[in-house]
Amino acid sequence: MAKILVTNDDGVHSPGLEVLRKHLKKLGDVIVVVPEREMSTASHSLTLRSPLRVSRIKKGIFITSGTPSDCINIGTLGILKEKPVLVVSGINRGPNLGDDITYSGTVAASIESTLRGIPSFAISVASFKNCRFNLAAKFAFILARYILKNGLPSHTFLNVNVPNVSIRSIQGVEITHQGKRIYKENLVKRTDPRGRTYYWLGGDEPTGEIEEGTDFAAVARKKISITPVQLDLTDYKMIDKLRNWHIKFP
Amino acid sequence: MAKILVTNDDGVHSPGLEVLRKHLKKLGDVIVVVPEREMSTASHSLTLRSPLRVSRIKKGIFITSGTPSDCINIGTLGILKEKPVLVVSGINRGPNLGDDITYSGTVAASIESTLRGIPSFAISVASFKNCRFNLAAKFAFILARYILKNGLPSHTFLNVNVPNVSIRSIQGVEITHQGKRIYKENLVKRTDPRGRTYYWLGGDEPTGEIEEGTDFAAVARKKISITPVQLDLTDYKMIDKLRNWHIKFP
C-alpha cells in the first residue's frame, strides 16, 4: 500500500493530527513523524549540532526531538523503506497566510518534502481558537486524492488555509496567490524582578491586505485558499535592473 | 548620521562580523545586534515562547538570546530610535546558494528586514575553512554604497556569495538566479552507550547544478554572485493549472 507521511509543527499532542491521520488512512498507509513538542515558528530550521532522538509511540506514529523539517528527513531516510507518495503537513492551528509562511514550520515541512522530490501540501485552520479540524481533514482527504491523481510540478507544493466556519458556511475553494502581511510594531519591553530588561515579540494574529486574489481575501470570504508555492525565490524582473548598476569589483 | 544595522547567524564571536563592521563604518553609524551564540540553519524562526535578553557588550554592539530574525526586531523596535537605512547580514561562514537559502539564518535576517521595509543584503563567503572575510567586507562596502544610492524594490533583497579566493583571482561580479541543490541522502544512524538509536543529519558542503546563470555557476567560476530575492513564493504558472482541477468542496 502506498505510504503517506504526515508531520506537523504543533507536536504529537495537537488535536489536528489524529483527525488528519484518520481521514488520510482511506488513501494509503499513513506514517506519522512529528516533533515531541510544539515547534511553531520553527521555520525551515534543521538540527545539525545535536543528535536527533526518535521514539515509536504507537504503530505508525513516531515522535522526534527535531523540527518539522527534521521529521521529513527522519521519516524519508530513517523510518520508511520506500519513498512516500505524498507528505501532508498539518493540520496547523492558526493561519499560514501571506508573508508569514516564511516563519512556518508547517510550510517548511512541505518545502523539505519538495526538495526531496515528494509531492506535498501544508494545511492550516485559520483560527487559533475552537479549530474545526474535522472540516479541514475532510478537505485534506479530497485534495490528497486530486494530487495523487494529477501530480504536482517538481518544485511546487500547495499551501492550504481553511476558514474556521461550519461546513454549511464554506463558500467553496479558491486558487490564490500569496498576500502581503500588514506588519505591526510588536515588541514588548519588560523588567524582571532583578531589574533587568527583557523583551517579548508580540503574538498578534496576522492580518493582511484583503486584495482580490490573495490567500487573505479568500479566507476572509469563507473560502478555502489553495496557494501553489514554488522554491525559486529569484526576483527575475530585478536581474536586468541590477545588471544596469554595472557593479565593478575589484 | 545614517544608521546601518548589522546582524549575522554565526554569533558575536564570528570573525566575519568585526571586519564587516569596520568597512561599513565609512558609510554610517553601524549598530550590531547579533545572537550570543551560533544560530546557523536557524532559518526564519522567531522566538515567541520565551522572553528575549539583550546585552550591550561594547558601544554599538548588542548580543541577544534570539535568532537572527529576532535580532532584526530587537534592533529596529527596541534599540534604534530611527529606522536604519540598510541592514547587512553576515559575513556568513559558508555558502548560501540555491535551495539552501531557505535554511539560512543569515538570509532570514534579510527577509525580516525586507518585511520591515528596510533595504537589505545577506553576504556569505563560499567556504567553511580559511574564509577571506576581508575581501567579502570590501565588497560589502561597495555594494552597500550602490544600494544606498539606487535603492531596492520594496519586496526584494540581495543574496551575495563571495568565492573564497584572493582578490587577484576574483573574476568580477555576476547577477544570478537561484540554482537547484543536488540533494544527498545524509542521515547517519548511531547507537548510544545505553543501546538506544540516535541520528545525525549530515553536514556535507552543498553542491548544486552548475547551470549557466545560477549562483552555483558564478561562484564556481570565481565570480561574486548577487541574486535578487523576492518574498512572494507563489507559483503563478501553476494557478491556472490548479483552477482546471475544478476542486469541489463541500
Per-residue model confidence as pLDDT tens digits over B170-194: 999 999 999 987 766 678 888 888 8
A contact residues 64-93, partner B, Cβ 8 Å cutoff? 69-70, 73-74, 77-78
- Average pLDDT of chain B to the nearest whole number: 91
Q: Is B108 on the interface with A (CB under 8 A)?
A: yes
The model's confidence at residue B43, banded by pLDDT at 50, 70 and 90, is low
pTM, entire model: 0.90
Cβ proximity of A98 and A181 under 8 Å:
yes
Q: Which residues of A are annotated as a binding site?
A: 9-10, 40, 92
Identify the weakest region by mean pLDDT among A149-153, A190-194, B22-26, B198-202. Answer: B198-202
Whether residue B109 contacts residue B7, with contact meaning beta carbons closer than 8 Å, is answered with yes
User: Which residues of chain A from 178 to 237 reach within 8 Å of chain B, CB to CB?
Assistant: 178, 180-181, 183, 185-187, 189-190, 196-201, 203, 224, 226-236
pLDDT in tens, B63-111: 999 999 999 999 998 899 889 999 999 999 999 999 888 888 999 999 9
Closest-CA distance of chain A to residue B168, Å: 8
CATH of region B3-181+208-243, choose from 3.30.70.1230, 3.40.1210.10, 3.40.30.10, 3.30.70.890? 3.40.1210.10
Which residues of chain A fall short of a pLDDT of 50? none
Name the least confident of A171-180, B36-45, B150-159: B36-45
From the CA of B67, how many Å to the nearest CA of chain A? 11
Could you tell me the pLDDT band of residue B238, with boundaries at 50, 70 and 90?
Answer: very high
DSSP H or E stretch at residue A239: helix A236-243
Please report the DSSP string for A128-172 in residue order.
SSS--HHHHHHHHHHHHHHHHHH---TTEEEEEEE-SS-TTT---
Domain boundaries defined on chain B: 3-181+208-243
CB contact under 8 A, A249 and B172: yes
Q: What is the pLDDT of residue A205?
A: 59
* pLDDT 10s digits, A114-157: 999 999 999 999 999 999 999 999 999 999 999 999 999 999 99
Nearest-by-CA chain A residue for B157: A235
**Residue A71, pLDDT score:** 94
What per-residue string of b and e applies to A146-180 under the rule 16 or more CB within 10 Å gives b?
A: bbeeeebeebbbbbbbbbbbeeeebeebbbbbbbb
The predicted structure's pLDDT at residue A127: 94
Residue B46 has pLDDT above 90, yes or no: no
Q: Is A153 on the interface with B (CB under 8 A)?
A: yes
Residue at grid coordinates 508569514: A100
Residues of B in contact with A156 (CB under 8 A): 235, 238
What was the pLDDT predicted at A186?
A: 77
